[in-house]
Each structure stands twice: as C-alpha cells, then as structure tokens.
C-alpha cells in the first residue's frame, strides 16, 4: 500500500447519498475544488460494529468541520440502497440516522483501490473488473485534500482502530495556519 500524500487525489464520479436521504448520481469531489478542504473517510461496512459509532462521531462535530471550510465525505463499497437503509436506521439498531454528510457507494471498488485502501487479495480480471478470491473491503482510510485537490494528509488504520475526530480537526488547523501564514504549526498548538 503506497501513500498518495502530495499527489492529486484520484478523480472519480459515483452515486452518493447526501443529507441522509437523497441519491445523487455522478457525485465527485471536483465540486469542492477551489472552494473547500475535503476530509474523505473510507470505512469498512454499513451495519458493522465500529463504523456507525465512527460516522456518528464525525457528524457530532460537523459544525467544527464547516467552520474550518471543510467538507466531510464518507465512502464504502456498500450499495447506495444499503447506505439509504443504514441512514434510515436508528443508532440503537446499528444505524447512522442523522448523518448528513455525503456517503459514496463504491460498489465497483475502483475508488477504494485508487486511494490504496482496499484490503484483500484482488486482481483485475479479463473484463477489466476488480475480482478477488475472498472479501474486498476498505480499510479505515482518511484523506485530507486541499482546495487544489492535493492530498495533504493520509492515515490508514486496520479494521479495529477508529480515527480520532479531534486529531483530524487539529490537522486541518495546522494546514490552514501554514496556508495563511506561510509558517509551520505543530498539531495541537
């Protein structure tokens, strides 16, 4: 698995659910270029043990991301129908009802593989489709993408480790400080 820090984020268009209930075709991060930072987080599966808690933790701090001119976007390899069902399900039942940021459906797994967070032994078959002998699911990847579309920060965790929302906010602050002042800022300063 290689890093894509310092490189342009892979370009894609895919179906996504926005505002918790609306299907958008051809959703792309390009709509945020020159306008916002993007935090793109990959998660393992809808209706899994850790993922609902993690996405709800990000949603709880959505206003802090918005105040930093940052768009949260999540992505898994589940279908948009599964995303929609998950977004309609209460937290007590393993759902993420109330999450408003976009959730991308990468059913083809091409987005996940282009960001180098697809776990499993996979290959491209004769039809140029990703295939595997076992399950292919995303690791817990997170990418901070600047307004020019360049990946500034990347973390990838194994399935059992969740991401710290406050650490991500601090990293955004450090990037913003550098872009504004031309000086480095330590995280948490």
State yes or no: pLDDT of 31 exceeds 80: yes
CATH code, domain with 106: 3.40.30.10
Note whether residue 119 is domain-resident.
yes
Give pLDDT, residue 134: 65
C-alpha to C-alpha distance for 11 and 171, rounded to whole angstroms: 23
83-131 residue pLDDT tens: 999 999 999 999 999 999 999 999 989 999 999 999 877 677 788 777 7
- 185 catalytic? Reply is no
Task: Check 4, 14, 51, 144 and give the catalytic one.
Answer: 51
Bridge-partner residues for 74, per DSSP? Answer: 41, 103
Note whether residue 26 is domain-resident.
yes
Note whether residue 144 is domain-resident.
yes
Note whether residue 186 is domain-resident.
no
Count of domains forming the chain: 1
Give pLDDT, residue 189: 54
150-186 residue pLDDT tens: 999 999 888 888 889 999 999 999 999 888 887 877 6
Q: Find the domain containing 78 and state its range.
A: 14-181
Specify the DSSP class assigned to residue 9.
Answer: P
Note whether residue 33 is domain-resident.
yes
Note whether residue 160 is domain-resident.
yes
33-42 residue pLDDT tens: 999 999 999 9
Note whether residue 189 is domain-resident.
no
State yes or no: pLDDT of 1 exceeds 70: no
State yes or no: pLDDT of 14 exceeds 70: yes
Rounded to 5 degrees, φ, ψ at 57 are: -65, -40
Note whether residue 149 is domain-resident.
yes
């Amino acid at each position: 698995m290689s890093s894509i820090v310092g490189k342009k984020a892979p370009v894609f268009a895919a179906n996504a659910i926005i505002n918790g209930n609306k299907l958008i075709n051809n959703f792309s991060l390009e709509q945020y270029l020159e306008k916002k930072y993007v935090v793109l987080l990959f998660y393992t599966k809808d209706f899994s043990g850790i993922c609902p808690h993690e996405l709800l933790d990000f949603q709880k701090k959505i206003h802090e991301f918005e105040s930093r001119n940052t768009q949260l976007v999540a992505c898994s390899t589940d279908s948009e129908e599964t995303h929609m069902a998950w977004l309609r399900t209460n937290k007590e039942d393993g759902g993420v009802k109330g999450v408003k940021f976009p959730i991308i459906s990468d059913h083809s797994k091409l987005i996940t593989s282009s960001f180098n967070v697809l776990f499993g032994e996979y290959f491209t078959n004769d039809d140029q489709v990703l295939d595997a002998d076992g399950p292919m699911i995303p690791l817990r990847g997170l990418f901070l993408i600047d307004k020019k579309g360049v990946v500034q920060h990347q973390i990838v965790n194994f399935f059992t480790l969740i991401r710290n929302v406050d650490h991500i906010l601090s990293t955004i602050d450090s990037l913003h400080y550098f872009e504004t002042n031309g000086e480095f800022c330590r995280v948490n300063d």
